[in-house]
Amino acid sequence: MLPALRSELLKFRRWSVLAGAGVMIAASAGISYLTFHQITSGATGRELTDLIAAFPTTLGLLAVVGQARSLIIAVTVIMVTANIAAEWSQGTLRNLLIREPRRLRLLAGKMGALLLFVTVSGTLTLVVSAALIISLARSQGLSTEAWTSAEAARASLAFALNELVCLAGVTILGMLVAVLTRSAGAAVGVALAYVLVPEGLVAMVWLDASKWLPVRVFNYLPGSVMPVGIGPTPPQGYVAALIVALVWMVIFIAVSAVVFRRHDVVT
C-alpha cells in the first residue's frame, strides 16, 4: 500500500488539489471572522444567543471557529469525490491498474493519501481560523485568557480529534460515492446533495431515525465538545455515536472495496 500512497502524494502537486485546501482555509477563516464580528459588534438574534453566551467562556473560541464546520465538510466531500472519480472521467485509472493490479491496495493507498491530506488541511483550517480570531480579539482589547487556558486547550484538542474523525467519515463516504458513480461531475453532485439535503429531510419527518444517519452521526462527534445549544450534541450519547460512526465507515469501505474490485474498467 505504501507505493500507492506515495504515488498518490505526487499527484497532490496539482493546483486544483491545493486550491481546494486553500478554499477550505480561506472560507473557514472568513466565516469565523464574520461570526466574531457579529458577536463583537453587538448584533442580536435568537441564532446568536448561545454563541454570545459561550463567547467569553473556555469554549468561546471553539464556538466561533466551529461555525465553518458545514463548509469544511462540503469542501472535503467535493475534493475527495472529484479526486477519486476523476480517475475514471479522465481515463487515468487504467494506467494505475496496469501498474498496480491489486485493486484494494490501490484504493487503500489513494484513501490513505486523501485522509492524510484532509487531516492536514482540516488541521490547518482550524489553526488558521483560531489564530485569526485570537489576534482579532487581542487587537480589539478583548481578553483571550479563557480561550488559551489549559481547559480550553483540552477542549480544543478533543474538538480537533473529533473533527478529524468526522472528516474521515465524510472522506470515506466520498470514496463510496465516487466508486459508485465513476464520474467526477456525478460524484460531486451526488455527494454534495446527500450531505446537504436528505438527512435533514428525514430529520423533519422522523427525528428518532435521523440520529443514526451517517453524516449526522459524523457531525455529532465534534459537536459533542461544543457549548450547549450550539452542538449538535449526540442525542444517543457520545460513545454510541462514535460506535455508529465507525460502523458506517466500515460499511462504506466494504461496499467500496467489493464494487471497485469487481467492476470492469471500460473508460
CA 150/CA 147 separation, integer angstroms:
9
The yes or no reply on residue 13 touching another protein (CB under 8 A) is yes
- For residue 243, give every residue at least 6 positions away whose Cβ sits within 8 Å of its Cβ, in sequence order, or none: none
**Residue 46 is a binding residue for another protein (CB under 8 A):** no
Q: Does 94 bind another protein (CB under 8 A)?
A: yes
185 touches another protein by CB under 8 A: no
Distances (CA, A) of 92 to 27, 85, 186, 245, 246: 31, 10, 17, 32, 31
CA distances from 209 to 140, 190, 206, 218, 220 (A): 45, 22, 6, 15, 14
Nearer to another protein, 7 or 148 (CB): 7
For residue 122, give every residue at least 6 positions away whose Cβ sits within 8 Å of its Cβ, in sequence order, or none.
24, 72, 76, 163, 164, 167
Q: Candidates 4-12, 51-59, 150-158, 251-259 — which segment interacts with another protein by CB under 8 A?
A: 4-12
Please report whether residue 37 would count as binding another protein according to CB under 8 A. no
Binding-site member from 65, 106, 177, 217 for another protein (CB under 8 A):
106
d(C-alpha 125, C-alpha 140), whole Å: 23
Q: Is 99 in the site for another protein (CB under 8 A)?
A: yes
In this chain, which of 4, 25, 39, 245 binds another protein, going by CB under 8 A?
Answer: 4
| Count of residues of this chain found to bind another protein when the rule CB under 8 A is applied | 28
Supply the DSSP symbol for 143: -
Q: Write down the least CB distance from residue 223 to another protein, Å.
A: 37
C-alpha cell at 44: 442580536
Q: Which range, of 94-102, 127-135, 153-161, 252-260, touches another protein by CB under 8 A? A: 94-102
Comparing CB distances to another protein, the nearer of 83 and 121 is 83
| Residue 95 interacts with another protein (CB under 8 A): yes or no | yes
Q: Length of the chain, please?
A: 267
Half-sphere exposure of 128 (CA within 13 A, CB side): 18
- Contact residues toward another protein (CB under 8 A) are 3-4, 6-7, 10-11, 13-16, 90-92, 94-102, 106, 109, 262, 264-266
